[in-house]
Structure 1
Amino acid sequence: DFKPRGERSFDKPFDKRDDRAERDDRPVFKKSFDKEGFEPRTEKRPRTNESFEKAPQKDRAKDAQRRRVGEFEEAPRYNFKRAEEQYAKKIQPKDDDGLVRLNKYIANAGLCSRREADGLIETGQITINGKVVTEMGYKVNPGDVVKYGNRVLNPEKMVYILVNKPKDYITTTDDPEGRHTVMELIAGACTERIYPVGRLDRNTTGLLLLTNDGELAEKLMHPSNNVQKIYQVELDKPITAEDFEKIKEGLELEDGPIKPDDLAVVTPDAMVVGIEIHSGRNRIVRRIFESLGYEVLKLDRTVYGGLNKKELPRGKWRFLNEKEVVKLKYLL
C-alpha cells in the first residue's frame, strides 16, 4: 500500500493561500503520511443535497436512489457459509446440526445484538410456538414461530450500506427539530430498517456504515476490537512541530489519556493533518486538536474498518459486497 515519494496524492503542489505561512516559516516534520485514505485539498464541491432539499417529499426516495453508486441495484443476498466454515470456528464452535441458536436467530431478525438477545431469553421475553423459552442454548427448528411480545421475529435479509456523509446531516434515524438526517440520503434503498453504526458529528463528513446487523454493529463499535478509522483534519493554522509530537506521543484529556495509532502532515502548508485512531469517544478528534489551541475547520473520515471512499462521492451511497462484509464481520 505504500507508494514512492512523488507518486502520492499529497506530494503534488498545492495552491498557496494569502493568509498561510510562507514555505520558509513552515514547520519541518520528520515523516509524511504514506498510508491510503487521505486526499489533497481540492476546490469546494457544490452542495449535493440542493436538489434534495427542494424536492417534494414524494420525490425524495427517487432522488436518494439517484445517489446510489456501485454494482448493486438492490441489497444483495450474502452467503457467509464459506466464511463461517473458514473463520467462525476460530471464534466459537460450529453447530453440526445446521440449526440456528436462538440468540443468533433473534439478532438475525434485526431486533438487537446477540448479547442483548441473551438478556431477552434469560428474562423470559421470548416465546417459541407459544411457550416461553429461557434455555440459553436453545436451537430454532424450521417452522418454529419465534415471538418477542406480540412481534413475530423473522430473520430478514442483512443490508449493509456505506454512505459518504455530507456536512449538515445528523447521524440519527429521525430528528424532532426537522434537521436533515443520514436516513434521507438512502431513502428507498431497501425495505429493511437499518441504523447507523456509531455517529459522525453534524459538521463531520465522510464514511458512515448503516446496517440491520446488530451483532456486527456491536462488534465495530466496541473499543476492544480496534476498528481502524482515519480522519483528514483541516486546521485554522499550521500545526507546529512541537504540537505534532505532543499529539503523536499522546495527550491527557478531561476524560482520560488518548494516543493516535498514527499521525501525519498531509499538505505542505501543515494545515491538513491525517490521524488514524480507533477510539470511539465523543468528538475525540476535534478535542485532541482543540486542547492545543487549534480550531478544526473541516473533519472528514476517509477510512472506516478498511473501507475507503474510492468511487463514492460526497452525498452518495452504495451496498457493500460480500467480500467487504466478511472482512468486517471477522475483523480481517
Structure 2
Amino acid sequence: MTFRNRLQYFLVKRLQISNKKALELISVGACRVASKQVFENVEIQPFEEIICDGEILREEKKLYYIAFYKPVGIETTLNQAIPDNLQAILPFEEKLFPVGRLDKASEGLLLLTNDGRVFDKTLRKEHQTEKEYIVKVDKPITASFIQQMSSGITIMGQTTLPCLVEAIDEYKFRIILVQGLNRQIRRMCYKLAYEVLSLKRIRIDQVHLEDLQPNEYREVGELIGA
C-alpha cells in the first residue's frame, strides 16, 4: 500500500488543501468512501465513490469484466493507428483493456476489463494462471510430439515449463499452459517441424469461452481473484 492510495492524498490533490487539513476532515468524519463514513486515512480504490462535506468529489465507477471472443485477424491492441486493432471492433462505450494477449492469427477467449487490479494481479501470477487452447496442426500428431510438447521445448533461449498436452484426434490437440511467452505454442510446434493451422483459446483460469462465437461477449464475475 502506498501513500498515493490513501484518502488523504486524494483530498490534498482534489481539494488543493494541506495534508493537515485533509487529516482534519478525515478525523471528524466529514468523508464517506463507498457510502461508508470513515475516520481514518484509509486505502481507497480507483472505482469507489468519495464524498466530503456532502460534496461528491468522485462518482462510483462501474467495473466491467468481459469474456470476449476475439476473431482471427484482429490485433490485441487498442492503438487505433495499428490496422485491424481491437478497439475498432469492441462494442463498448466504456474503454476496456485486454488482460493478456492473443496473436493476430489466433482466436478465442480474451478477457476485457476496466479494473486495473486485474492487470496487476495477472502479471504477478504470470506462471500460475492456466490458459487452455485447442490447436490444429498440419500433420498427424505422434506420441513423441505429445511427450516433447509436455516436457518442455527450448524457444527464444529458454525451455518452456512442463504442461498438459493431449491429443483430441489425428490433427488436433489440447494444451494447458501456465506461461505467456510470445507466440509460445506456434514456436513450440515449429521446433518439432509442425505448422499450426488454427489456434483457439478456450479458457483462462476459471473463465471459459463456452458457446461464444466470434465478436460475441458476456459479462463474467471478477476475474482471476481481483
Q: Same fold (TM over 0.5)?
A: yes
**Residue of structure 2 in register with 1:328 after alignment:** 224
Q: 1:315 to 1:104 in 2, by over 3 A?
A: farther
Counterparts of 1:251 and 1:200, CA distance in 2: 20
2:110 maps to a residue whose letter is L
Counterparts of 1:293 and 1:132, CA distance in 2: 66
Task: Specify the SS of the correspondent of 1:161.
Answer: strand
**Residue of structure 2 in register with 1:143 after alignment:** 51
2:100 pairs, out of 186, 198, 206, with 198
Q: CA RMSD in A?
A: 3.0
CA offsets per residue over residues 29-49 of structure 1, 9 Å max, x none?
Answer: xxxxxxxxxxxxxxxxxxxxx
Counterparts of 2:162 and 2:216, CA distance in 1: 29
2:129 maps to a residue whose letter is V
Counterparts of 1:132 and 1:154, CA distance in 2: 23
Superposed displacement of residue 295, structure 1:
0.8
Verify the 8 A CA contact 2:138 2:194 in the aligned structure 1. yes
Superposed, 1:76-95 pairs within 5 Å as none
**Residue of structure 2 in register with 1:175 after alignment:** 80
1:226 pairs, out of 128, 152, 157, with 128
Q: 1:251 to 1:104 in 2, by over 3 A?
A: farther
Task: Specify the SS of the correspondent of 1:201.
Answer: coil
- Runs of 5+ in structure 2 lacking a partner? 24-39
Answering whether residue 142 of structure 2 is matched by residue 240 of structure 1, we say yes
1:316 pairs, out of 211, 216, 219, with 216
Superposed displacement of residue 103, structure 1:
2.1
Task: Specify the SS of the correspondent of 2:51.
Answer: coil
**Residue of structure 1 in register with 2:65 after alignment:** 160
**Residue of structure 1 in register with 2:165 after alignment:** 263
1:250 maps to a residue whose letter is G
- Runs of 5+ in structure 1 lacking a partner? 1-91, 93-100, 106-120, 146-151
Verify the 8 A CA contact 1:260 1:275 in the aligned structure 2. no
Counterparts of 1:291 and 1:132, CA distance in 2: 61
Task: Specify the SS of the correspondent of 2:13.
Answer: strand
Counterparts of 1:284 and 1:205, CA distance in 2: 15
Task: Specify the SS of the correspondent of 1:217.
Answer: helix
**Residue of structure 1 in register with 2:205 after alignment:** 305
Superposed, 1:29-178 pairs within 5 Å as 103=5, 127-131=13-17, 138-139=41-42, 142-144=50-52, 154-177=59-82
Give the TM-score of the pair, scaled to structure 2. Answer: 0.75
**Residue of structure 2 in register with 1:38 after alignment:** none
Superposed displacement of residue 222, structure 1:
3.0
Superposed displacement of residue 220, structure 1:
2.1
CA offsets per residue over residues 244-275 of structure 1, 9 Å max, x none?
Answer: 211212222223111343110011x2x11110
Higher relative contact order (CA 8 A, sep 6+): 1
CA offsets per residue over residues 197-248 of structure 1, 9 Å max, x none?
Answer: 1111011100001111011122123345611100111111112222221121
Give the TM-score of the pair, scaled to structure 1. Answer: 0.52
Percent sequence identity over aligned pairs: 26
More strand by share: 2
Superposed displacement of residue 102, structure 1:
5.4
Verify the 8 A CA contact 1:289 1:295 in the aligned structure 2. yes
**Residue of structure 2 in register with 1:40 after alignment:** none
Q: 1:296 to 1:194 in 2, by over 3 A?
A: same
**Residue of structure 1 in register with 2:29 after alignment:** none
Superposed displacement of residue 329, structure 1:
2.0
Task: Specify the SS of the correspondent of 2:224.
Answer: helix
* Matched pairs, number: 196
